[in-house]
Copies of this chain bind each other. A is one copy, B any other.
Amino acid sequence: MLKPPIDFYFDFSSPYAYIASEWIGAVAARHGRTVNWRAILLGATFQVTGLKPPVEFPLKRDYLLRDVARSAAYAGVPLRMPEVFPIPTQNAARVFWWLHAQDTQRAVAWARTGLRAYFARGINLSDPAALKALCEESGLDAEAAEAAWNAPEWKAKLKSVNEAAIATGVFGAPFFVIDGEPFWGNDRQAQIEAWLASGPPRGIA
């Protein structure tokens, strides 16, 4: 029997989602699962939930930047916090959904390219020229990509994906849903592995 896929929600501007994007595929594969990658906009979920980006609180910001660096180092993932952070990522996300409609594997490749470009190479995905150059480097038609991120169709698609995510209970990134069970955060990796290996822990229905 085919096991259900893992839903993996990410925002191109979330460093913890970047770290998780580097391990989720291998973890899923080890347990015979596939991954549904879902680009979302955290800004939209924050608005609906009344939450604020954690980096808006100075004390928390200082800690998080330290924790991000440490978490990436422990995970063996190259990370250099971008000078401009956070950034609006709707264009990169719309390119993701535009590709997704053609070929989900190309969309996943784009997600990984975009996250690495921003968090390991310092490429500002909110700069249209930089984003077009990245599209070209990735073998995409940069003009078509730009047309896609400006098109009502892909704006509407991203909006509906966001609304569905919020309806599912997503309020941050990375966010995973496995067999209906929600997991929030790169730091839930160990619980995700345990769940995939053995299902719910004793005492949890």
Contacts and interface: CB of A to CB of B under 8 A. Distances in A.
Interface of A: 49-51, 57-60, 62-63, 66-67, 69-71, 73-74, 166, 169, 171, 181-185, 187-188, 190-191, 194, 200-204
A185 to B, nearest CB: 7
A203 B73 contact: yes
A171 B60 contact: yes
Nearest to A74: B201
A71 B191 contact: yes
Nearest to A166: B59
Contacts of A202: 73
Contacts of A69: 203-204
B63 A169 contact: yes
A160 to B, nearest CB: 18
A171 B59 CA distance: 7
